[in-house]
Amino acid sequence: MVVVVIVVVVVVVVVVVVVVVGCFVLTPLLLWDCFCCCLNLLVFYLFILMFCICIGKIYGTIILPVVLYGCETWSLTLREERKLRVFENMVLGRIFRPRRDEVTREWRRLRNEELNALYSSPSIVRVIKSRRMRSAGHVARMGDERGAYRVLVGKPEGRRPMWRPRR
């Protein structure tokens, strides 16, 4: 949202500068053409920003809940965390699409840092860890008679038999 406000302010300032300078330098017809070009740029950038914001909201409200169903009980290994990050970057890369490089004018895929800056929400692994902590807090506040609380704070008694248990 802050990015949208900054872009709008910059474009409005550019339009005002063009109009003020144009009053002294340009003819009225050229001034109108410059004003229309600046207005078209403003509308174009606002459309792009609103599109990115809406797509980001779709990712957060539809895709993430499906992927994270039951994540409070997962025990993640580093390999699984990496796979989740790869999945998140792949989905965000598809959502935000390749961009044209300003210098070479060639299409390129966005890097992970650029995707994280565009989405600007916590990564999927951070969401899993925060949900796990929230779930553990709920369990810790449960009464002593609840099964989940006994599993969380209980200590097993006795010794575990060696080898494989017999049937």
* Distance between CA atoms of residues 134 and 83, nearest Å: 23
Examine the pLDDT at 12 and tell me if it is beyond 60: yes
Examine the pLDDT at 158 and tell me if it is beyond 80: no
First to last CA, the chain: 62
Identify whether the C-beta of residue 127 lies closer than 8 Å to the C-beta of residue 65. no
Which residues are paired to 107 by β-bridges?
A: 100
Examine the pLDDT at 123 and tell me if it is beyond 80: yes
Contacting residues for 52 by C-beta, under 8 A, at least 6 apart: 96, 118
Q: What is the pLDDT of residue 2?
A: 56
pLDDT band at residue 27, thresholds of 50, 70 and 90?
low
∠ CA 36-103-31 to the nearest 5 degrees?
A: 15
Identify whether the C-beta of residue 10 lies closer than 8 Å to the C-beta of residue 27. no
Examine the pLDDT at 26 and tell me if it is beyond 70: no
Average pLDDT, the chain: 75
Examine the pLDDT at 20 and tell me if it is beyond 60: no
Instruction: Compute the half-sphere exposure of residue 60: CA atoms within 13 Å on the CB side of its CA.
Output: 12
Q: What is the largest CA-CA distance in the chain?
A: 96
Question: Could you tell me which of 43, 51, 46, 61 has the C-alpha nearest to residue 95?
Answer: 51
Examine the pLDDT at 136 and tell me if it is beyond 80: yes
Q: What is the pLDDT of residue 82?
A: 92
Which one is predicted more confidently, 80 or 163? 80
pTM for the structure as a whole: 0.56
Q: What is the pLDDT of residue 39?
A: 67
Contacting residues for 58 by C-beta, under 8 A, at least 6 apart: 95
Residue 69 sits at φ, ψ, to 5 deg, of -65, 120
- Average pLDDT on 85-98 reads 81
Burial, 124: exposed, middle or buried (Cβ in 10 Å; 0-12, 13-18, 19+)?
Answer: buried
Which one is predicted more confidently, 24 or 65? 65
- Average pLDDT on 157-162 reads 76
∠ CA 113-116-120 to the nearest 5 degrees?
A: 145
